[in-house]
Amino acid sequence: MATLSFNTTRMRTPSLPRISRSSSFTKPIKTHLSSSSFQTLSKRRRFVSRSLPESFTKEEETVVIAEDDDDPTSELSYLDPETDAESIKEWELDFCSRPILDSRGKKIWELVVCDASLSLQVTKYFPNNVINSITLKDAIVSITQDLGVPLPEKIRFFRSQMQTIITKACKELAIKEVPSKRCLSLFLWLQERYDTVYTRHPGFQKGSLPLLSLDNPFPMNLPENLFGEKWAFVQLPYSAVREEISDFEEKFVFGATLDLDLLGIDVDENTLIPGLSVASSRAKPLAAWMNGLEVCSIEADSTKGCLILAVGISTRYVYATYKKTPVTTDEAEAWESAKKASGGLHFLAIQDDLDSDDCVGFWLLIDLPPPPV
């Protein structure tokens, strides 16, 4: 076990539990996680697409229902006919330029919207001289009108540079904006569009860097309300994670899960998924505070002797520190190696006591590379 050290002037520096590279970390946490039955990428068939001429003249738009749409200049407007439109309450949204030039030699902008299950999928192209909150607001409204879906309760987005425009558009529509890198379906879809759409577009600019890159700022000190008391590296078999997350909403008030089928993580059922357990005598208040942070990932930084907690879009905290020794460095590196071996999958558990079989809050996390656009 280890004492969580957020501020070495207040708490003693911890000693990490020994991690064997070939066996287990410490005693596994027995959690009750669960798996959502979302649709997978393979369930997407054909789309109702709106073909757009290269000039982007709105008066010339034509609606085309394609048997096998292979036009990289077309737009998508799709709602799974088996999905109850009223059940889609949260969207994931990206509004950014693409590595594509229009007929004026200017970068094309694109709005991409989906839900976590990819039952809703919409793309719209825009010239670069109409990028503002009014354009975005009108586009959101048009999606609801075209597909008969209600305005979402929340919209997640991951680009800090677009926060002002997205926030203003959302506020005018009474939608809660959520800055977060937990836009995993959107991340996967943008990667897919880069591979199958953008690179085939006649205006594609190979080697073009993203106009709005993702931030990775220097980690800050952890707010006092997020302090824990003890921590330990732990693990669960992948099979246990898959089995247990089916009851997630019933078992946990605090936390977040992932659609493992959508992510398509290819690991053996016996693979041990690494995690971090944090214990506190005020576990419920701690979990409640964490619940509002959009927890994204945890990193063991062996070079600096600390754990980094990433939340929201670009906020990074020094979550814990430890005394650097050859042993602790080996342990931290082993934890990161285990995370890499599991496809980036890992978890955070908050407990009353590290020896307990139950958790107060559980967050299933994953390290995904940012989309290439």
CA angle 25, 28, 29 (to 5 degrees): 135
What gap in Å lies between CA 292 and CA 248, rounded to an integer?
17
What gap in Å lies between CA 75 and CA 92, rounded to an integer?
17
- In what helix (H) or strand (E) does residue 187 lie, and over which residues does it extend? helix 184-196
The crossing angle, in degrees rounded to 10, of helices 163-172 and 133-147 is: 50
pLDDT of residue 267: 78
pLDDT of residue 211: 65
pLDDT of residue 212: 61
pTM of the model: 0.80
Query: What is the distance of C-alpha 129 from the center of its chain?
Result: 30
Collapsing DSSP to helix, strand or coil, 219 comes out as: coil
| 367 contact partners, CB below 8 Å, separation of at least 6 | 297, 299, 339, 344, 346
pLDDT per residue rounded down to tens, the chain (373 residues)? 333 333 222 222 233 333 332 222 233 333 322 222 222 223 332 323 333 333 344 333 333 333 345 799 999 999 999 999 999 999 999 999 999 999 999 999 999 999 999 999 999 999 999 999 999 999 999 999 999 999 999 999 999 999 999 999 999 999 999 999 999 999 999 999 999 999 999 999 988 877 666 667 789 999 999 999 999 999 999 888 877 777 777 777 799 998 888 877 777 888 899 999 999 999 999 999 999 999 999 999 999 999 999 999 989 999 999 999 999 999 999 999 999 989 899 999 999 999 887 889 999 999 988 888 8
- In what helix (H) or strand (E) does residue 146 lie, and over which residues does it extend? helix 133-147
What gap in Å lies between CA 63 and CA 54, rounded to an integer?
15
pLDDT of residue 138: 98
What gap in Å lies between CA 270 and CA 294, rounded to an integer?
29
Between the two ends of the chain, the Cα-to-Cα distance in Å is: 42
